[in-house]
Chains A and B, each alone.
Chain A
Amino acid sequence: MNGLDAAITQYIDPYYLRIMILLGINIILALGLNLITGVTGQLSMGHAGFMSIGAYTSAILSMQFGFSYLMALLAGAMVAAFFGFLIGIPTLRLEGDYLAMVTIGFAEIIRVFFLNFEPGGKAVGLSGIPQHTNFITVWLIALLIIALNTRLLKSRMGRAFYAIRENEIAAASTGIDTTRLKILAFTVGSFLGGLGGGLYSHYMYYINPQDFGFMKSIELLNMVILGGMGSIPGTILGSFILTLAPEMLRIVAEYRLLFYGALLVILMIFRPNGILGDVRIYDLKKRWGRKEVKTCQS
């Protein structure tokens, strides 16, 4: 595997390689948020908070406690999941805007905590994290997550998550324990947030609390909304566009953020449900099939 990675590093331009690695990490992060916000319909605006918990936990564990790479990643994800579980509990009572406020507050608390956290290097940040994350590990994990996520959403549990988003009272009256499943979605989503954070810190070599601020949460939320709430291909596409857009827009230099904003506005006007939010493979097949019939007749 190391040989393969060496080959990849040799043949691919480091700049593109870096973008592809960050894309893989963003996909994992966005899929976690998609499960919470896109699928289960619980608006979370603090996903970067879970990411930072995973990033710091795994970095500290591998630097100071000699954890192996995979163990550190797993531990970081588990700690993030635990905090997701904790803040999942108030989601029993809160909905929509109120939940958004709570999650923003939570992410800010985490950020300020790491600003003052001695083992995390306070505001200076943490440097010298071993760079274990490479193209192969990121994309192996990302593909595994995509596969498991797809299977989950097609199962009984996945349908129940969607049902909660669509109508909570109706969902409860079919026997769905809505409270438990909302917490479950939050926990699993935070797990993926923490996992992405761990991959990130072991790639970047250096992290500091500002990397995981409010803008990062919004960026991740944008990926989910832009691609299509609740759709896995949509979330992947959203991550792809929003990871690449800032890079492509380097040509327009200072106007970069302006174009970035305009892109979001335009996409939302033409595809308010997200690019792939209401597209199903079934519909595509049907449309495609019909066209075929037409060409036969003419």
Chain B
Amino acid sequence: MSVLTLEGISQEFGGLRALDGVNMVVEEGEIFGIIGPNGAGKTTLFNIITGIYIPSEGDLIFKERRINRMTTHNIARLGIGRTFQNIRLFNKLSVLDNVRVGSHGISRSGFFKSLLGLPSMLREEKEIKSRAEELLELVGLYDKKMEYADNLAYGEQRRLEIARALALKPSLLLLDEPAAGMNSGEKVELMKLIEQIRQEMKLTILLVEHDMSLVMNICERIAVLDYGRKIAEGPPEEIKNDERVIQSYLGVGA
């Protein structure tokens, strides 16, 4: 079953056509990679899927539901979690609080309940906290749960973003350059982590990445964007040998 379907998505900024009629189908449970040169529209695509931009044309379908006019927070509540290319953590909140905020979309207690401290709210708080701690354990940040987020090292911040996105219990996870700025050891760890969360949480993962070894290793299918157009799609082996992809992105000898 397809989780996410893009039908003829186009996005214009003034006169610039950042995306031009992109079609894509992401199947349940797969790891789908999007690659392409800088400025090809990869992050724009993520921003459209999460409702930050409204596409100029085309349809966005998540689990048989049209979502292209929905607001960002409502899309998040449907179960689409994401991380950002330029890290967007809540810097002056603790690591634990960052993850706890992550579960906002799936928790209920409103203003008055919070003010009065009703038992149902306290119970929910307990759940949120224990789940946040589990997630921190998973990404290896449990020992730093009381640190401020901006005191973490770069690679740790990337992992914290993943933990925060997972707190939403998403069924689709969007990772925007998760390996950027990581050394090779951290990249191997990251690949293991992505594989593990897909297995354990039955996630579908869509990722944008420049690191070819990572993309080729863990993605089952890859789409290549160039100047807002999709120029190729298929399993890694096929993409590696595609003439147009080599010309526009991978380069000869890759």
A148 contacts B101, CB within 8 Å? no
From B35-43, B70-78, B202-210, B215-223, give the one contacting chain A.
B70-78
B88 contacts A167, CB within 8 Å? yes
Residue in B72, B125, B148 whose CB lies within 8 Å of A155: B125
Residue in A159, A166, A171, A176 whose CB lies within 8 Å of B100: A159
Q: How far is the CB of A245 from chain B (nearest CB, A)?
A: 27
Q: List B residues 109-147 near A (Cβ within 8 Å).
A: 109-111, 114-115, 117, 121, 124-125, 128, 146
A155 contacts B121, CB within 8 Å? yes
Q: Is A162 an interface residue (CB 8 A)?
A: yes
A159 contacts B50, CB within 8 Å? no
Contact residues of A: prevailing secondary structure? helix
B92 contacts A159, CB within 8 Å? no
A166 contacts B125, CB within 8 Å? no
Residues of B within 8 A of A175 (CB): 73, 76-77, 104-106, 168
**How many A-B contacts at CB < 8 Å in the complex?**
105
Nearest B residue to A176 via CB reads B104
A170 contacts B89, CB within 8 Å? yes
Q: Is A158 an interface residue (CB 8 A)?
A: yes
Q: How far is the CB of A24 from chain B (nearest CB, A)?
A: 21
A166 contacts B93, CB within 8 Å? yes
Q: Is B102 an interface residue (CB 8 A)?
A: yes
Type the 1/0 row for A148-177, where 1 means its CB is closer than 8 Å to any CB of B: 100110011111101100110111111111
**Cross-chain pairs A/B with CB under 8 angstroms, 30 sampled:** A151-B115, A151-B117, A152-B114, A155-B109, A155-B117, A156-B104, A156-B124, A157-B110, A158-B114, A159-B97, A159-B104, A162-B90, A162-B101, A166-B92, A167-B90, A170-B89, A170-B90, A171-B90, A172-B71, A172-B76, A173-B50, A173-B81, A174-B81, A174-B101, A174-B102, A174-B167, A176-B101, A188-B111, A282-B94, A282-B146
